[in-house]
């Protein structure tokens, strides 16, 4: 049997992590270009440099979380997986939006702007989606690690070196 053709659970987590890592690399190069004032980057990111850096770091952190959940090998319900994949991007994009549109950045002193309301709705939706995805997956995995009464002590009776096999 070809292992490459065997469907794997949570593939969307792996795919999303790869996409967000690629986006983080693009932002890393944008940060270099911003530092050297390469046109048109300062015009593209008129907001704070630190917001681009925050978006870059958040994409990397979210990708690491997605990879960690994927590595658990615990099949997750599809709503959890998709919420994590989408939420990892939308959460990071909050910083990117502030770099692209400084009127959305609450740390910049300015008068009221219509985009602030749109940003707040997007922020609430993103944080809710991300929280649902990661919290439900964490609970799902935690519940899967609890010993069942019928299997209590079975891990202690395994031969040395077989513990890794129990995870597969």
Residue 137: predicted pLDDT: 97
Structure tokens given for 94:
């909050």
Residue 6: predicted pLDDT: 61
Q: Side-chain half-sphere of 65: how many Cα atoms within 13 Å?
A: 24
Q: Quick check: 90 and 122 in contact, CB under 8 A?
A: yes
Q: Where are the domains of the chain?
A: 9-146
Q: What is the pLDDT of residues 55-66, one digit of tens each?
A: 999 999 999 999
Q: Quick check: 102 and 49 in contact, CB under 8 A?
A: no
Note the pTM of the prediction, 2 decimals. Answer: 0.81
The 3-state DSSP class for residue 38 equals: coil
Residue 30: predicted pLDDT: 97
CATH tag for 9-146 (out of 3.30.70, 2.40.50, 1.20.120, 1.10.10): 1.20.120
Q: What is the pLDDT of residues 27-56, one digit of tens each?
A: 999 999 999 999 999 999 999 999 999 999
Q: What is the pLDDT of residues 106-163, one digit of tens each?
A: 888 777 777 788 899 999 999 999 999 999 999 999 998 886 666 555 554 444 444 4
Instruction: Determine phi and psi for 70, rounding to 5 degrees.
Output: -65, -40
Locate tokens 């609890």: which residue? 146
């Amino acid at each position: 049997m070809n292992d490459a053709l065997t469907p794997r659970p949570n593939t969307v987590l792996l795919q999303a992590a790869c996409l967000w890592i690629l986006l983080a690399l693009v932002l890393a190069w944008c940060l270099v270009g911003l530092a050297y004032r390469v046109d048109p980057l300062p015009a593209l990111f008129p907001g704070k440099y630190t917001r681009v850096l925050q978006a870059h770091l958040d994409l990397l952190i979210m990708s690491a979380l997605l990879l960690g959940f994927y590595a658990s090998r615990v099949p997750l319900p599809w709503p959890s997986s998709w919420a994590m994949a989408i939420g990892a991007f939308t959460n990071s994009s909050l910083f990117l939006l502030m770099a692209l549109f400084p009127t959305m950045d609450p740390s910049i002193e300015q008068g009221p702007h219509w985009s602030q309301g749109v940003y707040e709705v997007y922020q609430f939706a993103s944080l809710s989606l991300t929280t649902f995805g990661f919290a439900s997956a964490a609970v799902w995995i935690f519940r899967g690690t609890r010993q069942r009464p019928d299997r209590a002590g079975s891990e202690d009776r395994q031969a040395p070196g077989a513990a890794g096999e129990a995870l597969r």
